[in-house]
Amino acid sequence: MAVDLALAKQQCRVLHDREDALIGVYLAAATAWVEGYIGKRLSEIVDDVPDLDAAVLLLVADFYVNREAGAATAATNSAVGALCFPHRSVLV
C-alpha cells in the first residue's frame, strides 16, 4: 500500500482541505527521505511493505506537528530508521 494524501491527513488527524498542499509537501519529503535511506524508490518495491508505509506516515506527522523545527525529531528519526533499516540496499 502506498501512502496517499488521504492516509497522510488521517495520520495527522486533519479533517479539512485547507492544508492539503502543505501535507502533500510533507508526504513528498517523507517519501524521498525513506527512498534515500533504503536506496530504492518505493514504487519499485513489488511486495506490500507496511513498515515502510509506517515510516513515511511517522515522518509526515512529525513534519506536520513540528513544522517550525525544520527537521524530524530524534525519536522519530530513531523509529523511522528502525523501520527502514531491514530494507536498505547493500552496496558492496
CB 23 within 8 A of CB 9: yes
Angle between helix axes 50-65 and 74-84 (nearest 10 degrees) is: 170
What is the model's pLDDT at position 72?
Answer: 64
Residue range 15-63, pLDDT digits in tens: 999 999 999 999 999 999 999 999 999 998 888 899 999 999 999 999 9
Residue range 55-64, pLDDT digits in tens: 999 999 999 9
What is the model's pLDDT at position 50?
Answer: 94
Grid cell locating 55:
515510516
For residue 75, pLDDT over 80 is answered with no
